A = this chain, B = another copy of it.
Amino acid sequence: MTDPNKILLDENEMPTQWYNIVPDLPAPPPPPLHPGTHEPATAEDFSALFPQALIAQEMSQDRYIDIPGEVLDVYRLWRPSPLFRAHRLEKLLDTPAKIYYKYEGVSPAGSHKPNTAVPQVWYNAQEGITKLTTETGAGQWGSSLAFACAQFGLESEIWQVAASYRAKPYRRTMMEIWGGKVHPSPSEVTEFGRSLLEQDKDHPGSLGIAISEAVSQAVEDPKTRYALGSVLNHVLMHQTIIGEEALRQLAKVGAVPDVLVGCTGGGSNFGGLAFPFLREKLKGNMDPVIRCVEPTACPTLTKGQYRYDFGDTAGLTPLMKMHTLGASFIPEAIHAGGLRYHGMAPLVSHIYDLGLVEAIAIPQTECFAGALQFAKAEGIVPAPEPTHAIAAAVREALACKETGEEKVILTALCGHGHLDLAAYDKYLSGDMVDLDLSDEVIGAAMQGIPDIGQ
């Protein structure tokens, strides 16, 4: 019996708990530090930014946390998301490998980001917060937060990296459809933004800068908090619903992954898919190779340093131990805007440091070549970010063609590319280039990482 194209779960089969990998790790992750004292940060240190419930999740040692009913109600607008067997891509590649992909593009915003936006907004609403600020790069996170705020009646104010704001006006429209207020970053709204615009009125911005602006606005108003779309433990935990569903879906067809590949920007898509499978691996139930895929233009894991650094450019956040290129690193304007972050989630950094996962970097032209094969075979036009995961899956499938191995490859197609077609236009017209990022360029921003005697 052949697998169906889509392995579906009914709404009543949807997981009702998120998975927190921390208590299952062989060593605890290094704690975040207070930026002044360099002592482990306390819940109090985060309280101007996040509601108590999310801070508790950030520091939790509980293995499972119940998903609130009202969050499940919103998840059901699009979840459980389908797991696809890529029959037609396998045929195109002429590979004996079996390729499965978990598709998160079915969400309203078109990516995995609403999985955490919805609970973040809900927990804030429970504590009387009426407005959330955030940053966004490609716009996936900003639109997800705007969507979630619309569901629970909160305001959203979003700083979008100026280069993306100008290049992708329709993501702004999408945020506005859901009631979001959007600024290009750097903006005239914040002191930090104004200082950067004085240096360069056409400043392209970066995620680190936009975070600084959003954070600085959140701490000024007691009814306003900040929401982060990746990196933090609680964000990755919310995304584990992806992997929990995928486990159930693969079980339905009796498949066990030999290789799991996921693209990594801040780490939440990767963690969301991988952590439940890593749990099963640590328990000895399966033994997949688990591999992070990052762009060569922002090679956080493969070329960054593992040390304490700020999450933002202005240095407002607690210090986090992570693989980083330096908080002042501004990556080239590659098309995978969501992978242009200077650091990697502390949890993903930690499990990489522990040797539990691998990492590779792939140049964007190879990614788009893979995406084009994928689109012709499977129909779906991928977002630029998961083209990295697809390219890695294609590499693996072609290796199987050589060896004849019938490996089971699992990946996440974390979003569609309907709002990223300019990138495809550039690729199709032959104008897309791979950026040759020298070690000097990569090392420059790392000079600015604070030395805390680590």
Query: Which residues of A are at the interface with B, using a C-beta cutoff of 8 A?
Result: 4-6, 8, 10-12, 76-78, 88, 106-110, 147, 150-151, 169-170, 173-174, 176-179, 372, 375-376, 378-381, 416, 418-419, 421-422, 424-425, 428
Partner of A428, one of B88, B176, B419, B422: B176
Structural contact, A424 and B177, CB atoms closer than 8 A:
yes
Beta-carbon contact of A375 and B177 below 8 Å: yes
Once the chains bind, are B372 and A177 in contact (CB under 8 Å)?
yes
A233 to B178, CA, bound (A): 39
Given A4-B11, A419-B421, output 6 extra A-B contacts at Cβ < 8 Å.
A174-B381, A177-B372, A177-B381, A178-B376, A179-B376, A418-B419
Q: Given contacts A418-B419, A421-B170, is CB(A77)–CB(B177) below 8 Å? A: no
Residues in chain B near residue A418, CB distance under 8 A: 110, 170, 416, 418-419
Q: With A107-B379, A179-B376, A379-B107 as known contacts, state yes or no: A425 contacts B150, CB within 8 Å.
A: no
Cβ contact within 8 Å between B170 and A379: no
CB of A15 to closest CB in B, whole Å: 16
A379 and B6 CA atoms in complex are apart in Å by 22
Q: Which residues on the B side are within 8 Å of A108 (C-beta)? A: 375, 378-381
- Shortest CB distance A452–B (Å): 43
Look across to chain B and name the residue whose beta carbon is closest to the beta carbon of A418: B418
Cβ of A11: which chain B residues have Cβ within 8 Å of it? 4-6
Residues in B with CB closer than 8 Å to A110 are 418
**Lowest 4 CB-CB distances: which A-B pairs, in order?**
A108-B379, A418-B418, A170-B421, A173-B421
Q: Are A8 and B5 in contact (CB under 8 A)?
A: no
A260 and B110 CA atoms in complex are apart in Å by 28
When all copies of this chain in the complex are counted, the total is 2
Which one of A77, A169, A375 has the greatest number of beta carbons of chain B within 10 Å? A77
Does A173 contact B422, Cβ atoms closer than 8 Å?
yes
Residues of chain B with a CB closer than 8 A to A107's CB: 379
Candidates B106, B150, B372, B422; contact of A376 at CB < 8 Å: B150
In this complex, what residue of B is CB-closest to A143?
B381
Q: What are 30 A-B contacts defined by CB distance under 8 Å?
A: A4-B11, A4-B76, A5-B11, A5-B76, A6-B76, A8-B8, A77-B378, A77-B379, A88-B151, A106-B106, A108-B378, A108-B381, A109-B379, A110-B418, A150-B376, A169-B425, A170-B418, A170-B425, A173-B424, A173-B425, A174-B381, A174-B424, A176-B424, A177-B372, A177-B375, A177-B376, A177-B421, A177-B424, A418-B418, A418-B419
Q: Assess A5 versus B379: contact at CB under 8 Å? Given A173-B428, A424-B173.
A: no
| In the complex with contacts A179-B376, A376-B179, A77-B173 CB distance below 8 A | no
Q: Please indicate the chain B residues that have their CB under 8 angstroms from the CB of A425 in the complex.
A: 169-170, 173, 176
Across the interface, which residues of B come within 8 angstroms of A428, CB to CB? 173, 176-177
**Minimum distance in angstroms from A172 CB to a CB of chain B:** 8
Whole-angstrom distance between the alpha carbons of A174 and B382 in the complex? 11
Distance, CA A178 to CA B371, complexed state (A): 11
Q: Please, how many angstroms separate the alpha-carbon atoms of A316 and B63 in the complex?
A: 69
A61 to chain B, nearest CB (A): 34
What's the nearest-Cβ distance from chain B to residue A418, in Å? 4
B contact residues around A424 at 8 Å (CB): 173-174, 176-177
A12 contacts which chain B residues (CB < 8 A)?
4
Distance in angstroms between the alpha carbons of A330 and B82 in the assembled complex: 42
Q: Smallest CB–CB gap between A131 and chain B, Å?
A: 17
> Does the CB pair B422–A147 fall under 8 Å?
no
| Contact partners of A375 in chain B: CB under 8 A | 108, 177-178
Instruction: Select which of B5, B8, B77, B174 is within 8 A of A88 by beta carbon.
Output: B77
Q: A5-B11, A10-B4 are in contact. Are A147 and B379 (CB under 8 A)?
A: yes
Minimum Cβ distance to chain B for residue A373 (Å): 11
Alpha-carbon gap, A249 to B123, bound state (A): 35
CB distance from A220 to the nearest CB of B (A): 27
A164 CB, min distance to chain B CBs, angstroms: 15
> Is B174 within 8 A of A5, CB to CB?
no
A174→B417 CA distance, assembly (Å): 10
